[in-house]
Structure 1
């Protein structure tokens, strides 16, 4: 069995999944821009931990089980929708409030930022569907333990590299300065995006 080829294929699929725009991208970029670089990177690391968690569940077979149990899937979807709507509403309500301090002083604690990133990723039912299906299809049957461990590490690295890179980019002074000049518009757009994503999850069947 060509385990190296399988790992490369899985890595490519994971990379494509994280670069596609979604709630994770909105949260990490808004945190890095409106809070601080450290908070943005911590959010990205939280998302990396969530990717590792989903991968562990998938390789253990739990992800596929949850995706097939209707009430569990419904619970995750409703929880994720409510969380996104709550985040979006908070962002919109605070959009026109002038900052009372510099972005550095507004910084969320790294633990709080990481927790937010982790919760956004873990309550995303698309992640459940993705990990539950992709590993059922792409992971070879009866693969050795080291292969499963490698998948978990790769998932965490791919996710962490992308989202932390986005945090570093959007926290650069030039980028942050541009966004801070349009703070109300930026937060309103990001908040509206999260509300729409939450609404779609809430109304989807």
Structure 2
């Protein structure tokens, strides 16, 4: 059975991974700033469900098979990179569209139509990132032995989900609290522009990632 020490250590490593700058962070920040705290939280939940799925996949060997298969790794990498590029271009187009708006109230962001759209955006950003597979393939076996039970696997998966949710909900709350600041057209354009460039850069970097 997984000990409390192992659970704490695993949770700490996953939390540090979630806190590192990357596509997940960029998506939550932009969604919170552009659409509001609730939509940022929805994106955070989507990312957390993706992390939960990756831990299960790593524990059952599915993630290891994907990481070991050149074809599977390439497919996930290309699709994930394309999705990040799509999000980045959409953000840049939003920034350019708002650049000609003289009024104080910008055009509502298309992603604000549904919190499910924000959830899906977070989920897809995470599950289409093969680096997440490599991370959990390296991490999970250190905490789950060969004879680990289903209960142990579920405990670690839930710990990973809880830690990720906690961090990104904090991010969404902080950014969402500054909603009035981000509602200013100039600030909104800056957020869209910076996150757009960041997502495009991350997508390009992901596209050139190779298996270890």
- Distance change (3 Å), C-alpha of 1:2 and 1:53: closer
Number of residue pairs matched by the alignment: 201
Aligned position for 2:101: none
Q: Which residue of 109, 112, 115 maps to 2:114?
A: 109
| TM-score, normalised relative to structure 2 | 0.89
Aligned position for 2:128: 123
Structure 2: which 5+ runs fail to align?
A: 99-105
Q: What CA deviation, in whole Å up to 9, does each residue of 1:50-89 have, x standing for no partner?
A: 1111111111111111111111011111111000001001
Does the CA contact (< 8 Å) of 2:66 and 2:72 recur in 1? yes
Aligned position for 1:94: 94
Q: Secondary structure at the match of 1:95?
A: helix
Distance 1:9 1:66 in 2: 26
Distance 2:115 2:191 in 1: 23
Residues 25-104 of structure 1 correspond to what in structure 2 (within 5 A)?
25-98=25-98, 99-101=106-108
Does the CA contact (< 8 Å) of 1:54 and 1:127 recur in 2? yes
Distance 1:7 1:120 in 2: 26
Does the CA contact (< 8 Å) of 2:10 and 2:143 recur in 1? yes
Tell me by how many angstroms 1:144 deviates: 2.8
Matched, 1:144 2:144: no
Tell me by how many angstroms 1:2 deviates: 6.3
| TM-score, normalised relative to structure 1 | 0.92
